[in-house]
Amino acid sequence: LILHSLINQFNRVNLTKNTMQTKKPP
């Protein structure tokens, strides 16, 4: 159960990173 939560959090952070990278101006 805790592991699942950890993976969920990790995926969320990854998603946020991807979004920031995409929104980041060149």
Handedness of CA 12, 15, 20, 21 (dihedral sign): positive
- Phi, psi angles (nearest 5°) of residue 10: -60, -45
Q: Structure pTM?
A: 0.51
Average pLDDT over residues 1-11: 91
Q: What percent of the chain has pLDDT above 70?
A: 88
Average pLDDT over residues 17-22: 79
Which residue segment(s) compose the domain that 11 sits in? 1-26
Confidence at residue 26, expressed as pLDDT on a 0 to 100 scale: 67
How many domains in the chain? 1
Confidence at residue 9, expressed as pLDDT on a 0 to 100 scale: 95
Strand, helix or coil at 26?
coil
